[in-house]
Chain A
Amino acid sequence: MTTIANGPAPGRLRTRRQFLTIAGCGALGAAGASIAAPVLLDRYLGDSATTGSVGPRSGGSTVGSGAPDPGFVLVSVQLGGGIDFLNTVVPHSDSRYRRIRGDGTLDVDGGELPLTQLDDAYSLYAMPFLGEQWGAGNLAIVHGVGWEGSSLSHFEATDMWEQGSPDLSTRTGWLGRALSDLAGPEPDPLIGLSLGEVSPSMYAAGWSPVGLEPGRRIPWSAQFREEYRALDSVIVDMQAPVGDDLVSLARNSQLDLRRIGARLGPIVGNPEDREPVDDETSDEEFAGDSAFLDQQFDLAADLINGGIPTRAFHVMHDGFDTHANQAADLPRLLGELDASLRRFNQRLGPAAERVVVATWSEFGRRPEWNGDGTEHGTAGVQFVVGPTVRGGHHGEPPPLDRFDDDD
């Protein structure tokens, strides 16, 4: 059993299987495979919210005394495309690594690559901040994440991750189900926010997730309401239809926007007023990607520090589908993630105490090098990082001398 969460009330932890049952996931884990994110939610959303007994440590809250426990916050980072675990958490002492990875092997002894040695067995590639977090005991690395029989389709595998369902039978997202349990009958629509470009179906449950893309102007600030007074009164007077048909959803999309826009506006502000994001960490031609990741984390930090009661954020970092050009693209992508996490940590300040970041990727990549990159494979890797995480290795690494068919 893999249990990652660590905190003041370890005895309260439910097992993974219990959580999966609660969230309606069904058992996803197959031999040698695990899905780690639900373990976290059990601890970080479920328990603290229902009992209040697992609040932030001192200094962890920006809410004044007497305010309700703001609870833990999960930041789910999607590493889109399927991450290559072998060149990310490098098994440097395993002689089979060089044999199977061939020309794609990272030179761990040359001293020229940005590798952080974690222990006798593993080095971390291009992620110095996560290396520091490992040293501080704040980084959990989950090995061998995946399931048997994956079709290796980006879209189907992503749907399975988001639903937490191996047969796609639930049609709702596991995070949405967990948040619905947490939120009660009248959920705050801002309890779950999707910051990437595509709203993940991970949330979809009884209520619609709020997708909030950085760099977007959110209307209905006080100034906007003054300028558009007539429009405001028309919208405010309109009856909200009940129903989940598209006509009702379309009407409500504008009525809901009026309500949440007034709350988000002061925090999000105008995109042109937000401080520019530093592009230096990225390859020039891909500067947009790095900036977009920073913007998502900045927005999450500002919303957390601004008192918005969001309990789960989705952040998108795309481009891990390294069929070609992996030698250049993978370290860039990992470096961007690492730099953004460092920036996020700094921007959060004391609130970092109650934030956990968990990465996931729809699948891993095959160990063989195709000459310029790697193909879709079953087993991937997950990182879970935060001050309350029990650091270390979790799960079982896939054995390098025995693979599933085609993995």
Chain B
Amino acid sequence: MPIEPTPRNAAHLWRRAAFGATPEELAQTQRNGIEATVAAMFDHRRAVDAGRPLRSVGYSAYETEHLNLWFLRLATTSPTPAIEKLTWFWHGHFATNLDKFENPELLHAQLLTFRRYGLGRFDGLLKLMARDPAMILWLDLEQSIVGRPNENYARELMELFSLGVDGGYNQFDVANAGRAFTGYTLETDRPPTVMLNAGLHDDGTKTIFGQTGRFDGDDVVDLIVARPECHRFVATRLWTRYAGTTPPNDVLEFLSAAFATRLSIKDLLVAMFTHPAFYADDVRNGLVAQPVESVVAALRGLGIEIIDVSTTPIPDDEDLDAPAGAVPWFVPIAMLEEMGQFVGHPPNVGGWPHNEPWLDATRSAGRLNAAIVLAEWIDAIDSAPVRAIRAAADRDPRAAVGEMFAALGIAEWSDETAVAIVTALTAAGGAVGPLPTALTVALTSPEVILS
């Protein structure tokens, strides 16, 4: 049975599968239906070229800014934001921190791999990860050779990437898989590539999941993806991160089966976003937006352009002279810094935390500070959504509430939040004007904090 394309269902889909919709996109979904919208969202033929490689001038905090601005610009301007959101999901799944190898370009290449292959077959993606320079540096794989294997990659491959900690493997399987993943060496050409070096590979027999053979890494992946634990793990992971909740058993069985047929991530995503359980109230109120997601949604919604780092050098200092009608280049970076999340810097291989930790005091302070960073510029912004908000605020504060949430792709909000925004627009006092105050209230409301 199709999902009814009500405004709230359409808005929910766009906020979760992508970064929120424009009013035009919502209207289109209401006309075409949820199913057709989902099909179009994940149509990779609509994806654009992701831009030229990042300049590589060696590592610095400056280069992390390049990487983040590149991703933010892609996510805010892309005609396929759902594919960019999926790229972001995979970054959290195969969580690689560039601090260990200090080269944002390798992380950039990994993100492009997610973007290109992230909708395809899961076994293919896993095989690419053992050949990904950033990944093998991150999990010490390039130091693992015959006679002195290390188990780091093999263990995280099973525990975090494909089977889960209760995924039916044991320490013996990890040790044998560790031997299969020997000899993956890094060639430091430009660009760096990974080669399977036969002389450094352990080609003896290994026993994994009770099967014995002269396995290499690709064979281990084939053994993993044949297991039902893998299908359930991948379905659970996608549901948890997109829906926010623990999947109900029947939903999990349905999604695992949809995935197992072809090991296709796209099949799984389509099954998830067209399932009635995804539109239930617990899911609707079940996910805290991560900072990167919040920044993309706010900038995309308010029509704020981000500097194109592949063509424009980042200004040398924090130049306060913003281009007319826009915000200075560093505003999105300052927002991410306040909120404590940068592309390329997950806290560990388990990825970023989920839900409640994002509501602790540090993150709440960061969210408020980030809202203020953006809101301070609202009076200077000359985009269509901000003009509409400003015009409504001059006319009727209640109408301004509707314009703000429309810009952010949010279809429903509480009376309490509406009253708070109206009060902010009409109250006097302090050094900060009414519109920035009102936007700060909106950006720190539960409606925006939850995705």
Contacts and interface: CB of A to CB of B under 8 A. Distances in A.
A372 B150 contact: yes
A245 interface: yes
B143 A372 contact: yes
A250 B420 contact: no
Contact of B446 (A152, A230, A251): A251
A230 B171 contact: no
B285 A216 contact: no
A218 interface: yes
Contacts of B287: 246
A393 interface: no
Contacts of A219: 365, 368-369, 372
A374 to B, nearest CB: 9
A136 B160 CA distance: 44
Nearest to A218: B365
A321 interface: yes
Given A199-B353, A228-B430, A230-B430, A257 B364 contact: yes
A211 B432 contact: no
Given A323-B152, A324-B143, A376-B155, A211 B360 contact: yes
A246 B434 CA distance: 28
B429 A233 contact: yes
B226 interface: no
A228 B360 contact: no
Interface in B145-177: 145, 147-152, 155, 159-160, 165, 171-172, 174-175
Given A234-B423, A234-B441, A260-B361, A323 B150 contact: yes
B159 to A, nearest CB: 5
B432 A230 contact: yes
A50 interface: no
Interface string A58-92: 00000000000000000000001000000000000
Nearest to B427: A230
Contact of B368 (A230, A248, A254, A371): A254
B276 interface: no
B303 interface: no
Nearest to B357: A199
Interface string A108-142: 00000000000000000000000000000000000
Contacts of B355: 246
Contact of B159 (A155, A210, A212, A372): A155
Contacts of A170: none
A32 to B, nearest CB: 19
B365 to A, nearest CB: 5
A276 B384 CA distance: 44
Interface in A215-235: 216-219, 226-234
A272 to B, nearest CB: 13
A303 B148 CA distance: 47
Nearest to A238: B420
A209 interface: yes
Contacts of A257: 361, 364-365, 368
B140 A406 contact: no
Given A227-B431, A231-B437, A323 B353 contact: no
B347 interface: yes
A205 to B, nearest CB: 13
User: By CB atoms of chain B within 10 A, which of A197, A228, A323, A405 has the most?
Assistant: A323
A292 to B, nearest CB: 11
A224 to B, nearest CB: 10
B363 interface: yes
Given A153-B159, A217-B369, A234-B420, A212 B143 contact: no
A12 B244 CA distance: 46
B338 A217 contact: yes
B432 to A, nearest CB: 6
Contact of B165 (A156, A253, A260, A372): A156
Contacts of B286: 246
Contacts of A321: 152
A262 interface: no
Q: Give the one of A155, A216, A288 with max B CB within 10 A.
A: A216
B363 A211 contact: yes
A373 B150 contact: yes
Nearest to B245: A246
Contacts of B427: 230, 233-234
Interface in B359-383: 359-369, 372
A247 interface: yes
Nearest to B286: A246
A237 B149 CA distance: 61
Interface string A353-375: 00000000000000000111101
A234 B438 CA distance: 10
A17 interface: no
A249 interface: yes
Contacts of B171: 151-152, 405-406
A247 B285 contact: yes
B361 A80 contact: no
A155 B350 contact: yes
Contact of A216 (B152, B347, B362): B362
A225 B36 CA distance: 49
Given A80-B348, A254-B444, A261 B165 contact: no
B357 A198 contact: yes
A158 to B, nearest CB: 9
B285 A198 contact: no
Nearest to A229: B430
A154 interface: yes
Contacts of B33: none
A241 B427 CA distance: 23
A212 to B, nearest CB: 5
B288 interface: yes
B160 to A, nearest CB: 8
B288 A246 contact: yes
Nearest to A204: B356
A208 interface: yes
B319 interface: no
Interface string B414-451: 00100010011001111110100100110011100110
5 pairs of A and B residues whose beta carbons are closest in the complex: A371-B148, A229-B430, A211-B360, A229-B429, A250-B446
Given A217-B365, A245-B285, A323-B152, 12 more contacts: A154-B349, A211-B363, A216-B340, A216-B362, A219-B372, A231-B430, A231-B432, A246-B288, A246-B355, A253-B363, A256-B361, A371-B148
19 contacts: A151-B171, A152-B171, A197-B347, A198-B353, A199-B357, A216-B362, A217-B369, A218-B365, A227-B432, A228-B372, A230-B424, A234-B437, A238-B420, A246-B244, A247-B285, A247-B450, A251-B446, A253-B361, A406-B172
Interface of A: 80, 151-156, 194, 197-199, 208-213, 216-219, 226-234, 237-239, 245-251, 253-254, 256-257, 260-261, 285, 288, 318, 321, 323-325, 370-373, 375-376, 405-406
